[in-house]
A and B are shown apart, each in its own frame.
Chain A
Amino acid sequence: MAGLNILYVEDDARAARQVCELAAKTGDTVHWAATGSDGLKRAGVEPFDVIILDRMLPDLDGLTILARLRESGIGTPVLMLSALGRTTDRAEGLDGGADDYLAKPFEAEELLARLRALHRRASGSTHSAVILYGAFECHVKARTAFRANRHLALSPREFELFRYFMENAGEILTREMLLRDVWKMNFDPQTNVVDVNIGRLRRKLEEGFDSPALETIWGSGYRLLEGR
């Protein structure tokens, strides 16, 4: 997948530099706008894949910028950033039309993983009836899964998890993303339910095959492999 073209509206130069550095490593391009009005102007003239919007800017509130963007017909996916990570702020941001919300401080890897998921969702590839990736097939409507043409017997919940991996194939999915999108939790349960569920899915995907299907990435993330 080609690098993302990202607009980052942020008044904190240090945070902006960190994100730019990481993006350079992953092959993404970050355009940094230090003020809300500058960001709004650039979003109007240049097409971006995703926009990162800080909630608190000196000139314009992040929610206001978002509202103006949507008013002028710009549907680019927006990820809202805020030092206030609490549930109510999150809800306000999402109600305001943001596609995702991330609390500061964040891990740069988490931010980029989410941006990729956002972009993928927005570019429509997730809505197709059949998702193909490597040796894997996911028939969304029929709710069936195959690896190398062999049927995988997944429970409904396991299928949801598998589909989420397929929709974000090849990308790192953090624990937080899985919790939020598959189980609708904005917190980490104390017991290891998530690890158990991933473990079960991994076993079903790998049973009878030699190559691994799910990779555990350092820093609490997972990635679906091609499985050939």
Chain B
Amino acid sequence: MTQTSPLRHSIYSRIVLLAILSAASITFALWVLADATIARSNRLAQQRAVDVDLAGLVDIYASNGLPELVERIEDRAALEPRSGGSSHYLLTGRQGRHLAGDLTRWPRLRAELSEAGDIEIAPHHSAFARATQLGPQLRLLVAHETPALDALRRQVSLVFLAGGILAVAAVALAGWLAARRLATRIERLNIAFRNPDDRALDALTRQSGHEDEIGELTRHSANALARLRRLAAAHRETSDHVAHEIRTPLMHLDNRLVKTLAASPDPEMARGIASARDEIRAIIRMLESLLDIAASEARRGDRHGLAPVDLSALVCRLGELYADSAEETGHRLVVQIAPRVIVNGEEMALTRLVTNLLDNAFKFVPPGGTITLALSPGPRLIVRDDGPGVPKGQREHIFEKFARAGHSPHGDGGGAGLGLALCRAIAQRHHLEITLVDTPRGACFAVTPETKP
């Protein structure tokens, strides 16, 4: 039996993988969003601080005049900020003359428009600045350095990375556990369907208590399998009883004929009784064939009870048996057997299959004809003859019950017409198929592995 590892090829591995991917991408998206938010809100705070600073200085100039403004600017520029983001100022008078502030060069910002923007204070040192026109020749610039956010952003990234790993691990673990549980329950169903024996059905019944979808499926499956087994058992019992009930009176009848025969010395009567006994045996044979067909059909696809059979040895044995017979009847039997062709099957049934095909050939081929029995790996079994073959109209139906192939030269129609039907039933039970191959002469039966399921 193929016992695949529960997570490798099943749908659960895909579901777990999908969950892990979702958890990872959601965490990543959240991190990108958080990082952007930090950068944006920081920028806004910086802009606001610059504007507030600038507005305060403008107010001072408006109410206290230029000297006070210069003094305040010097104060503020000297102030050492607690953490990063230090401020810079520049106040210029006529023709850009430096009046106050720590900056010396006016950046490319137009004061008359109150322009704002990033300016370079020192190499690799930028700041956000806003300029404004206080008087016809008086310009003021306030700049705040961009604070170093790298540390904060790195911390946030680390937090998200750790969180993401934890989330993925949690999802993977939970998913794996859930998947394994589901897989076990589904596998139990599959086991029960592959080989519905008592143990598998018991296991199904035990787990059908779950009140979920799989629990329901399990209950349905357990019921269906139990019903199937009951039906198969009932079918077997019925056919066995039918066989028994019919065979018993036939045997008694046969016994009576034997006794009558023993008591009667009349040769005419003895011939009649002998042929009556033959007919009784034919009826019993037909009955057994019908039961065998039914049994084979009922067990079609069921691998239970099949064991490795050396088909080469089996066919060889039958070849020898029929070779002697062929000599007597004036047929030529050609046997071509590849060694060590092993199949899983029931030896008796396979013997029956080959025997029926050979019986069939010997019955329909007139003396002097050739019959070929060939076996090659695959397995591929061929029984071919150069007899009259099967008439066109009958080719479709020869494998059906009570169909009679060809015209028997012996005039008895060749039994009840169950031989080939039984061949087909046995072949199908072994996942083989039997076909009548088109040949220019005679009939050619091939038994080969099933092509369609």
Contacts and interface: CB of A to CB of B under 8 A. Distances in A.
Interface of A: 83-88, 91, 104-107, 155-157, 183-193, 196-197, 199-200, 218-219
Given A107-B251, A218-B261, A196 B347 contact: no
Nearest to A156: B320
Contacts of B188: none
Nearest to B262: A218
B45 to A, nearest CB: 87
A185 B355 contact: yes
A185 to B, nearest CB: 6
A203 to B, nearest CB: 11
B325 A196 contact: yes
A77 B25 CA distance: 75
A84 B295 CA distance: 13
B206 interface: no
Interface string B402-418: 00000000000011000
Contacts of A104: 244, 248
B395 interface: no
14 contacts: A84-B244, A86-B295, A87-B295, A104-B244, A105-B244, A107-B255, A157-B321, A183-B321, A184-B347, A185-B348, A187-B348, A188-B285, A190-B363, A193-B322
Contacts of A155: 324
B282 to A, nearest CB: 9
B389 interface: no
A83 B244 contact: yes
A219 B258 contact: yes
Contacts of B351: 184-185
B243 A105 contact: no
Contacts of B72: none
Interface of B: 236, 240, 243-244, 247-248, 251-252, 255, 258, 261-262, 281, 285, 288, 291-292, 295, 305, 314, 317-318, 320-322, 324-325, 328-329, 346-349, 351-352, 355-356, 358-359, 362-363, 414-415, 419
A83 B240 contact: yes
A88 B328 contact: no
Given A84-B240, A190-B359, A190-B363, A196 B349 contact: no
A187 B418 CA distance: 14
A87 B346 contact: yes
Contacts, number: 88
Nearest to B281: A188
A191 B291 contact: no
A188 B322 CA distance: 14
Contacts of B329: 196
Given A184-B317, A184-B347, 10 more contacts: A83-B240, A85-B240, A85-B243, A88-B295, A188-B281, A190-B359, A192-B325, A196-B324, A197-B325, A199-B328
A200 B324 contact: yes
Contacts of B325: 191-193, 196-197
Nearest to B348: A186
Contacts of B247: 105
Nearest to A183: B321
A200 B248 CA distance: 34
A218 B262 CA distance: 9
A130 B295 CA distance: 43
B261 A91 contact: no
The 5 closest A-B pairs by CB, nearest first: A193-B325, A196-B325, A190-B359, A105-B251, A105-B248
B363 A191 contact: yes
Contact of A184 (B236, B295, B305, B348): B348
Contacts of A186: 348
A105 B439 CA distance: 45
Contact of B258 (A105, A184, A189, A218): A218
Contacts of B317: 183-184
A105 B253 CA distance: 12
A41 B45 CA distance: 103
Nearest to B346: A87
